[in-house]
């Protein structure tokens, strides 16, 4: 959900009896982002001025393909032929950053698409997912986690440089990031002996 001035935006998916349709609701009424020919999902919404961005994915020819919609129109995110997904988006000036992951044939590689052009955040040795993105001045921060073979490790990236947040003794799932006045806050879920805890 996102609020801009007097407008409320919510994204989600609706089953049409055959497939899921990606949708966005503005102050109540829904707008279809996809026509229902393929299963599609809208993951979140980001509003920058008059522009409304929705990242997600669509199943095309048995592949899940990362998608980005701007004001209801599909933007051409460049991807390979492997499965991919766009999970969040952030805008700064003339630049738009979509984040997500793409399968390299063996593992999921975390990516950021700057103005629809992809850059890798991880090297593909371990599966890595990213879910939160935020800008602070000239810097771009991205939060996610990497599976190290036995545990999920929280990470964040500052201008595409990675930093670990945990020692790997517990599963952790970073899903958002906020950076006021150069202080980095990461929202996550950690596995404990009695369940999972949000921090």
Taking only the tens place, the pLDDT of each residue in 97-136 is 999 999 999 999 999 999 999 999 999 999 999 999 999 9
Spatial separation of the C-alpha atoms in residues 142 and 191, rounded to whole Å: 21
Taking residues 20-36, what's their average pLDDT? Answer: 94
Spatial separation of the C-alpha atoms in residues 20 and 160, rounded to whole Å: 33
pLDDT at 134: 95
Q: Terminus-to-terminus CA distance in the chain, angstroms?
A: 20
Supply the pTM of this predicted model: 0.89
User: Which of 161, 152, 157 is closest to 189 using CA atoms?
Assistant: 152
């Amino acid at each position: 959900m996102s609020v801009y001035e007097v407008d409320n935006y919510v994204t989600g998916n609706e089953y049409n009896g055959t497939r899921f349709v990606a949708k966005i609701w503005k102050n109540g009424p829904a707008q279809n982002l996809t026509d229902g020919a393929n299963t599609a999902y809208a993951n979140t919404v980001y509003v920058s001025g008059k522009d409304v961005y929705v990242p997600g994915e669509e199943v095309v020819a048995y592949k899940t393909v990362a998608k980005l919609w701007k004001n209801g129109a599909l933007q051409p995110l460049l991807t390979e032929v492997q499965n991919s997904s766009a999970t969040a988006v952030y805008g700064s000036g003339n630049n738009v950053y979509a984040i997500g992951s793409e399968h390299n044939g063996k593992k999921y590689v975390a990516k950021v698409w700057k103005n629809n052009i992809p850059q890798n955040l991880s090297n593909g040795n371990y599966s890595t997912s990213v879910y939160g993105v935020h800008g602070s001045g000239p810097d771009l921060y991205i939060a996610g986690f990497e599976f190290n073979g036995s545990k999920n490790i929280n990470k964040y990236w500052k201008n595409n440089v990675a930093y670990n947040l945990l020692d790997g003794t517990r599963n952790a799932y970073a899903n958002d990031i906020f950076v006021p006045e150069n202080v980095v806050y990461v929202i996550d879920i950690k596995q404990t002996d009695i369940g999972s805890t949000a921090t």
